[in-house]
Amino acid sequence: MSGYLRAWLTAEVTTSPRHANVQRFYFGWLRLRANPLALIGLAILLSLVVVAILAPVIVPVGPNDQDLTRRLLPPSAAHWLGTDELGRDLFARVVYGSRITLYMSCLVAVIAAPIGLAVGTTAGYFGGWTDTVLMRINDIFLSFPPLILALGFVAALGSGIENAVIAIALTAWPPIARLARAETLTIRASDYIAAVRVQGASPRRIILKHIVPMCVPSVVVRITLNMAGIILTAAGLGFLGLGAQPPMPEWGAILSTGRQYMLGAWWIAAIPGLAILLTSLAFNLFGDGLRDVLDPRSE
Amino acid sequence: MKAAASQVVSVLVTLLGLLALTFFMGRMLPIDPVIAIIGEQAEPETYDMVKAQLGLDKPIYVQFGVFIRDMMTGEFGNALFTGNSVAHDIKRVFPATIELATVAIIFGVGLGVPFGMLAAVYRGSVLDHVARFIGLLGYSSPTFWLGLMGLILFYASLGWVGGPGRLDVVFLDMVDTRTGLLLVDALLAGEAEVFWNAFSHIILPASILGYASMAYISRMTRSFMLEQLGQEYIVAARVKGMSRWRVVWRHAFRNILVQLITVIALAYAFLLEGAVLTETVFAWPGFGRYLTSGLLAGDMNAVLACVLIIGIIFVGLNLLSDVLYRLLDPRTR
């Protein structure tokens, strides 16, 4: 890095809002860099994204290519992680499975975060009855363990990836709404909101343009921390046969079929489980580090 | 008094909400329940008759009222996949889950509390980091995978523990069901052999189920302890000449007990969630397995009843931990 850039990044007086933002980001990165566990988490997540994107380049065979002459082979040079009951290469299936896991968890985040933000900021800004009613609904969703609630919704909607995503998203928004509401309550009383209101801005405009942007950072951290749980729930649904359906190479679903061959071919069940563990661990490590960066008091 | 009244109202509203949410789940079905029973080719008169029998011709609020009445009186309907009434089934399977969850929480508390204490007292040491890492693994592991791996290792390879189910086949029905908790029933009947067999079956699923709660309990214990150990009275006691561990046990630990109890109540509630997956892996004939069998059979009566009951237990345990906190902590009086 050139000396000039470093000087600009660490300047004591910032010259523009963009400068200030970049600098805050840079200082955050420095703090994150000091946390080796968070970096490991980040590295695992980044490599997972690369693997998911480059899946066809990494493995020459498809996840559903069968070769019945090569069934249930243990890990070897030809099949790094062995083959399953239909002679499919397990390495290829696990690699392609990362796409499904990332797809599902990102979709859940993309659905749950806006719902949570909308409900939380509305409840916090208006207060009174709106707040009471919305937070009551929120509490009701929170009074079921997430997996149980997701199971109930999947039972009603039917199984499959899309329905599993909807079911998990329905269980993932309440903690975000609660957080957004708490943030809104502190923002609402500040002078700049009063100033915008005096200028005649509508509540809609105040919430969308002035409150939501302030809530976004903490919501992002919360979603990252919750991601580990979301992945475990998605894998659990797949394992129970209620999420992704075979022959999709979803990790939970592979594990579930591997269960029948568990005693002879342990690798079919062991390896997708390790992949789930690694991904969820990475999110936990990274989320912990992110929380320390954004809220140094939490330690 | 006013606080207690508002708590009661709040619990009632939450219960009503739980009922509304489960009712709503039951109505979300993409298929018409009437057609599901009589088929597409049925006459319109038959359709109307069945619809009236199911009570679906009435306005939605009347249906909701009937639903509340049924749920409150335990009329959950019949489970098609067992042929029994859901209430009967649940009474039968519930003790198995209670037994599993109780052994699991003993495991979670027995290891989690000492781990958390040690991690706090030796903060920043290797021990602290190891405890934190074990905890993180507990949060991140899919319980169903841990269960399968445990079965492969400890049952199939090493033969240290019993396999799936609650008992070996030869011991089935050897003791009378009194409490439904096999360990207790075996002791009451004085059958040591049955007790040890049941114990060898429960130890693996219970410790795997308890692992996640151990992680949670040890993390909370650590942070509560750190808060206490940073207080001035601790320094004062040390300066007075009290030994380190005496200060920890006599002063700090006593002060975190109340918080710890509420954490344990919550951990117990979350065990119910883990039980769904653990019981499926270990063929444990409990509540969680009943729920998943109902799900796979598409039996909404059973599923809704189970979801509702878990919700109620969850709310109940939350309430219990609140009440305990108020009763035990003199500062809240």
**pLDDT tens digits, residue range B230-289?**
888 888 888 888 888 888 888 888 888 888 988 898 898 888 888 889 999 998 998 889
The whole-number pLDDT of residue A1 equals 57
**Cβ–Cβ below 8 Å for A155 and B311:** no
CA distance B226 to B329: 19
- Helix (H) or strand (E) segment spanning residue A148: helix A146-157
A232, A276, A284 member nearest B136 (Cβ): A284
Count CB atoms within 10 A of the CB of residue B129.
12
Retrieve residue A214's tokens: 């302030």
Measured CA distances, B26 to A120, B23, B29 (Å): 27, 5, 6
Residues from chain B that touch A255, judged by Cβ atoms under 8 A, are 142, 144-145, 148
The whole-number pLDDT of residue A295 equals 61
pTM: 0.87
**Cβ–Cβ below 8 Å for A148 and B273:** yes
**Cβ–Cβ below 8 Å for B148 and A144:** no
Compute the average pLDDT of residues B28-41. Answer: 69
**Cβ–Cβ below 8 Å for B315 and A281:** no
Residues from chain B that touch A232, judged by Cβ atoms under 8 A, are 140, 142
The whole-number pLDDT of residue A299 equals 40
Q: Could you tell me which residues come within 8 angstroms of residue B38 by beta carbon, excluding any fewer than 6 positions away?
A: B46, B47, B50
A139, A157, A281 member nearest B136 (Cβ): A281
Percentage with pLDDT > 90 across chain B: 19
pLDDT in tens, B190-202: 788 888 888 889 9
The whole-number pLDDT of residue A273 equals 93
Q: Distance, in angstroms, between A198 CA and closest chain B CA?
A: 37
Compute the average pLDDT of residues B138-144. Answer: 90
**Cβ–Cβ below 8 Å for B273 and A146:** yes
Q: Distance, in angstroms, between A251 CA and closest chain B CA?
A: 11
Compute the average pLDDT of residues B126-146. Answer: 89
Look at chain B and count its residues: 333
Rg (CA), chain A: 23
Rg (CA), chain B: 24
Place of tokens 């980044």: A46
Q: Distance, in angstroms, between B7 CA and closest chain A CA?
A: 13
Strand partners of residue A89: A83
The whole-number pLDDT of residue B212 equals 86
Strand partners of residue B78: B85
- Tell me how far apart the 2 most distant CA atoms of chain B are, in Å: 90
Q: Distance, in angstroms, between B34 CA and closest chain A CA?
A: 16
The whole-number pLDDT of residue A297 equals 47
- How far is CA A88 from its chain centroid? 29
Retrieve residue A197's tokens: 């209101």
Residue of A nearest to B28 (CA): A156
Nearest C-alpha neighbor of B200 from the set B182, B176, B177, B180? B182
pLDDT in tens, A50-92: 999 998 888 888 888 888 887 888 888 777 888 888 888 889 9
Q: Could you tell me which residues come within 8 angstroms of residue A8 by beta carbon, excluding any fewer than 6 positions away?
A: A19
Which segments of chain A have a pLDDT < 50?
296-299
**Cβ–Cβ below 8 Å for B17 and A137:** yes
B203, HSE (Cβ side, Cα atoms, 13 Å): 12
